[in-house]
C-alpha cells in the first residue's frame, strides 16, 4: 500500500496550484513604482576592436535616464571563474577578466558593450539603437574553429593568451604512462572520435533582473532569476562591485526553470544594481533571441 503522506508518498506538488493557475510571481511580472528599463547594446560581430562608442545623442533622447559603457566598469572587479584548474605542467589556467560590459574588444556576437536605462522599454530600445549607430567597431577575424584556434597563434580571442588555450589538464597525470603502456600492449583497441553538440538551455522563463536602491538606508536589492541567491550575492557584492554583502539583498522569486543557466552571475545583474543606484530600477528582461547568443 503506497503511503499517502510523508516520506515516500507521492504528495501532490503544492507549488503547482500557483504555477498552473497563472498566479506565480516571476521577476518580469513585477512592477515597482518608478521602474525603469534597461536594454543592452550588443555586438553584431564575433570579434572586433571598439574604436568609438558615442552615447551623447542617445543620452539626450526622450525618457533616457542613464547610459553605461564598458569604461564605467573598467575599475570594478570582473566576474570570476569559480574553479581554478591547473595545467598538466602545474601552471594555473589563463583567466581573462570578464567585464560587466565589454571594453577594448567585443568577443562574441551578443557581447554587450553599452547599456541604456530609460523610463520605458521602447525608449531604451530606441536609444540603444542610436548608440549602436554611433559606435564604430573594427571587425577582426573570428576564432571559431577549435583546431584553428589552437594552431593559429596570431589570431587571439584575448590578446594576452597566445594560443587561445585556457588550460591543458590531465587526470590523473600520474596514470598517464601506465595507461599509455596498457593501450600499447592491449589485444584490442577501439577508437572513436566524436563531437558533443553545443546546446542552449531553454528554461520557460528567460532571465530577468530588477535592481533597487534605497537611499534612506543605502541598501540595495536585486531581484533576479537565480538558482542560488547567496552565491549571486557573493559574486555581485564581493567580487564584481565591491559592496558589503550585508547591504545587498538578493531575491530569487518564482523561477521558471534553470537547467544550469541560472547558476551563474551575469553582467546584466550587476548593471541592474548600478542602474538602481541612479534611481532607476531596471528589469532587463531579455528576449529569447538574446538568450541564445
Partner 1 sequence: MTKIELACDLEGNFIAFRTETLANVGAYLSNFSTVTPTFLHGTLMAGPYKVPNVYVNVKTVFTNTAPVDAYRGAGRPEATYSLERVVDKMCRELGLDPFEVRRKNFVTTDMFPYTTPVALAYDTGDYHATLDKVMEMADVAGFEKRRAASAAKGKLRGMGLSTWIEACGIAPSHLVGILGARVGLYDAATVRVNATGNLSVMVGAHSHGQGHETVFAQIVADKLGIPESSVEIVHGDTAKIPFGMGSYGSRSLAVCGSAMSKAVDKIIAKGKKIAAHMLEAAEGDITFEDGKFSVAGTDKAKTFGEIAFSAYVPHNYPLETLEPGLEETAFYDPANFTYPAGAYLCEVEVDEGTGKVDVVAFHCADDFGNIMNPMIVEGQVHGGVGQGIGQALCEFTTYDENGQLLTGSYMDYAMPRAEDVPFYNVDYSCQTPCTHNPLGVKGCGEAGAIGSPPAVVNAVIDALQRGGHKHVTHIDMPVSPSRVWTAMNA
Nearest distance in Å: CB 164, partner 1 = 5
**Of 20, 74, 153, 263, the one binding partner 1 by CB under 8 A:** 263
Q: Which is nearer to partner 1, 36 or 262 (CB)?
A: 262
Q: Which of the 8 DSSP states describes residue 81? A: -
289 binds partner 1 (CB under 8 A): yes
Closest approach, Cβ 285 to partner 1, in A, equals 16
Provide the minimum distance between the beta carbon of 283 and partner 1 in the complex, in angstroms, as a whole number. Answer: 17
* Phi, psi for residue 280 in degrees, rounded to 5: -135, 90
Sign for the pseudo-dihedral over CA of 36, 262, 81, 153: negative
Nearest-angstrom CA–CA distance, 179 and 174? 9
What part of residues 71-110 is at the interface with partner 1 (CB under 8 A)? 79-86, 88, 93, 95-96, 98, 107-110
Q: Kindly state the helix (H) or strand (E) to which residue 222 belongs, with its residue range.
A: strand 219-224
Cell readout for 105 is 574588444
CB 35 to partner 1: min, Å: 19
Report the residue number, 62 or 260, with the smaller CB distance to partner 1. 260
**Judged by CB, which is closer to partner 1: 37, or 107?**
107
Of the residues 35, 249, 277, 278, which one makes contact with partner 1 according to CB under 8 A? 249
Q: What is the DSSP letter of 236?
A: I
Take residue 198 and report the three cell numbers written for it.
553545443
Site residues (CB under 8 A) for partner 1, limited to 142-201: 142-147, 149-150, 157-158, 161, 164-172, 175-176, 178-180, 182-183, 186-201
Among residues 63 and 80, whose Cβ is nearest to partner 1?
80
What span, in angstroms and rounded, lies between the C-alpha atoms of 69 and 53?
8
51 in contact with partner 1 (CB under 8 A)? no
CB burial of 117-134 (b: ≥16 within 10 Å; e: otherwise) equals bbbeeebbebbbebbbeb
- In the bound state with partner 1, the residue whose beta carbon lies nearer, of 50 and 252, is 252
Residues 107-126 that bind partner 1 (CB under 8 A): 107-111
Residue 36 makes contact with partner 1 by CB under 8 A = no
Residue 104 beta carbon to partner 1: minimum distance, rounded to whole angstroms: 13
Q: Can you tell me whether residue 40 is helix, strand or coil?
A: strand
Strand partners, 40: 115
Rounded CA Rg of the chain: 23
Q: Are 262 and 244 in contact (CB under 8 A)?
A: no
Amino acid at each position: 500500500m503506497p503511503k499517502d503522506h510523508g516520506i515516500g508518498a507521492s504528495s501532490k506538488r503544492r507549488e503547482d496550484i500557483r504555477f498552473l493557475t497563472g498566479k506565480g510571481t516571476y521577476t518580469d511580472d513585477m512592477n515597482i513604482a518608478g521602474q525603469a528599463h534597461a536594454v543592452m547594446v550588443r555586438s553584431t560581430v564575433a570579434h572586433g576592436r571598439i574604436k568609438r562608442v558615442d552615447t551623447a545623442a542617445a543620452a539626450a533622447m526622450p525618457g533616457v535616464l542613464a547610459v553605461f559603457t564598458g569604461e564605467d566598469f573598467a575599475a570594478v572587479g570582473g566576474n570570476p571563474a569559480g574553479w581554478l584548474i591547473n595545467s598538466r605542467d602545474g601552471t594555473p589556467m589563463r583567466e581573462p577578466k570578464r567585464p560587466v560590459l565589454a571594453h577594448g574588444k567585443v568577443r562574441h556576437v551578443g557581447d554587450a558593450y553599452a547599456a541604456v536605462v530609460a523610463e520605458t522599454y521602447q525608449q531604451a530600445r530606441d536609444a540603444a539603437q542610436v548608440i549602436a549607430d554611433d559606435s564604430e567597431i573594427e571587425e577582426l577575424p573570428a576564432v571559431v574553429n577549435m583546431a584553428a584556434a589552437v594552431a593559429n597563434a596570431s589570431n587571439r580571442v584575448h590578446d594576452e593568451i597566445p594560443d587561445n588555450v585556457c588550460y591543458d589538464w590531465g587526470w590523473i597525470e600520474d596514470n598517464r604512462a601506465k595507461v599509455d603502456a596498457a593501450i600499447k600492449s592491449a589485444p584490442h583497441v577501439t577508437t572513436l572520435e566524436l563531437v558533443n553538440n553545443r546546446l542552449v538551455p531553454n528554461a520557460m522563463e528567460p532571465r530577468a533582473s530588477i535592481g533597487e536602491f534605497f537611499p534612506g538606508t543605502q541598501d540595495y536589492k536585486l531581484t533576479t532569476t537565480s538558482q542560488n541567491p547567496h552565491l549571486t550575492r557573493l559574486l555581485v557584492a564581493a567580487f564584481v562591485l565591491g559592496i558589503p554583502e550585508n547591504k545587498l539583498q538578493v531575491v530569487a522569486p518564482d523561477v521558471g526553470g534553470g537547467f544550469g543557466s541560472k547558476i551563474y552571475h551575469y553582467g546584466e545583474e550587476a548593471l541592474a544594481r548600478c542602474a538602481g543606484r541612479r534611481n532607476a530600477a531596471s528589469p532587463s528582461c531579455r528576449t529569447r533571441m538574446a538568450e541564445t547568443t
